[in-house]
Chain A
């Protein structure tokens, strides 16, 4: 038996934990650069704000109905997410973090008659400990747990268990194929053409035929709908192979100096994240592009890879390399909308062999560098992110993305803690 735990309107719920006056009011969270609505409270959904709606299109609704708008505060959401997962860990020996707001639990150790109560208990404890409301769907396979979760979302108790084959059959008969996990709109169209419209149709089709006519992935989905578990819980997520830092600009940039500041900022933030995660990178990739929706200007996009002489997590090394790469891709007289830096070929920091050409003196130097970087990280932790920066990152930050309604870093910054009187 599997459970899928899904946080309800996760980003909105995170904002509400520290701003309880938002409870029962319409709230939306916008994607980076204040582009589209990416999380909506049920009150906002009821006003007819669709998922992914561009902000300029829903401005009228927002103003008319006093919808509370927030810019995405991903570092806050990340912290709350890790708390939710930490709580969930206690409920099962195997947990798969599926996304920032979803996780699968293996509940095979429980007897069937206890599952529903257990699910309700999970919901209650997560809400109490973290303040985040979740829905719990339970089923004999991951795919059916996902189906159960979509019903739990509408269920008053927020928990639903799909336990008997009869119940499953009735339900699947009412669900269209494109709402099933892993079936995209393209496949569902193809299946519809073959007279398969509901999830039940697929469950009752011959899996061997599906495998031949389509592929093994869809055949597995069909078996899963039948109640035969084909997907197990990925116990350990594979270690990260790359890290990326990129953002759209609030206003387009044209000069090399401005772009260099943005690139340096991203390189610097990558170096910081590499140190936090205990990794080093040996290959950087930088990307620049203009706005693809701008009809007047020419669209330009380019990427340049630059290998490092030895794996590094040092801001200076990464900034230097990224600047070199920028020189290769920069073209004059263009309005750039976005740049990004990606760290590839990650390796654990303690397993890196010093390069052939690093001498003893170089090693001492690198130890000293490490101490300096540690101090920088410490100061930025103590006095808030961005307190101490590299000069090449610039101080104007005219290129920072729009983030007009961002909430404080309630759990990451000593100066922005929630206040009580």
Chain B
């Protein structure tokens, strides 16, 4: 359990810290030039600024995907395949559009079996989507969560099962009712 002794640092020695965190990377020369122009023109801020024009439709994602510079080149030639790289497929991309508003729930009953929702299935629920007419939703009726198809008629709301054994539920004024989220996908295992 020994630790190497480190000589004390002289104050003010070494490279001056950058105001923003930096990282050394390898870039193609033409791009380096571009970036330097940007930096010299004090336009660096523009690179970090977030455009808040499209807030509500935009996808909330922390990861910035970059198709460039996929292989870390230590020596020799970069892989020619990099140029054509499209990345690999990620199911999250396909199924989840609003990460912060997406939840998973487990189905217990068979009231929705005619639309392919069976007991034990996993539902992907997006709370950010509007619960429009005909959508399969997670509704909260008198404190209980249930999955049903939402039918909005002129002056009443129905929660419809997709199974002849279950009658439609008419939501009355005495009920406490809200929609919790819209079901976007069912994940059903076949094995």
User: Which A residues are within 8 Å of any B CB, using their own CB?
Assistant: 20-23, 82-84, 86-87, 89-93, 109, 125, 128-131, 236, 282, 306-309, 356, 410-411, 414, 417-421
Contact = CB atoms under 8 A, between A and B. Distances in A.
Interface secondary structure of A, over-half rule: mixed
A90 B143 contact: no
Given A90-B58, A417-B106, A418-B103, 14 more contacts: A21-B144, A23-B176, A86-B100, A87-B60, A87-B100, A109-B52, A128-B101, A307-B1, A411-B103, A414-B104, A419-B107, A421-B107, A421-B109, A421-B111
A185 B145 CA distance: 45
Contact of B143 (A21, A125, A128, A307): A21
A89 B99 CA distance: 13
A290 B146 CA distance: 48
Contact of B105 (A90, A130, A417): A417
A349 to B, nearest CB: 15
Nearest to A88: B100
A169 B9 CA distance: 51
A421 B108 contact: yes
A129 B75 CA distance: 48
A128 B108 CA distance: 25
Given A20-B143, A87-B100, A420 B105 contact: yes
Interface string B138-158: 101011111100000000000
Contacts of A307: 1, 3
Interface of B: 1-4, 21, 49-50, 52, 55-56, 58, 60, 62, 98-101, 103-109, 111, 122-123, 127-128, 138, 140, 142-147, 176, 178, 180
Nearest to B107: A420
Given A20-B180, A90-B55, A420-B106, A129 B147 contact: no
B147 A420 contact: yes
B52 A92 contact: yes
Interface secondary structure of B, over-half rule: loop
Contact of A309 (B2, B122, B128, B142): B2
Contacts of B138: 420
7 contacts: A20-B140, A21-B144, A86-B60, A91-B55, A129-B100, A417-B106, A418-B105
A125 B56 contact: yes
Contacts of B49: 93
Nearest to A418: B105
Given A87-B60, A307-B1, A419 B143 contact: no
B106 A83 contact: no
Contact of B50 (A93, A130, A236, A421): A93
Contacts of A236: 21
A130 B180 CA distance: 10
Nearest to B178: A20
Contacts of B109: 420-421
Contact of B98 (A129, A411, A414): A129
Nearest to B54: A90
Contacts of B104: 411, 414, 417
A84 B107 CA distance: 26
B188 to A, nearest CB: 15
B57 to A, nearest CB: 10
B1 A83 contact: no
Given A130-B127, A309-B1, A420 B60 contact: no
A21 B142 CA distance: 7
B111 to A, nearest CB: 7
B85 to A, nearest CB: 22
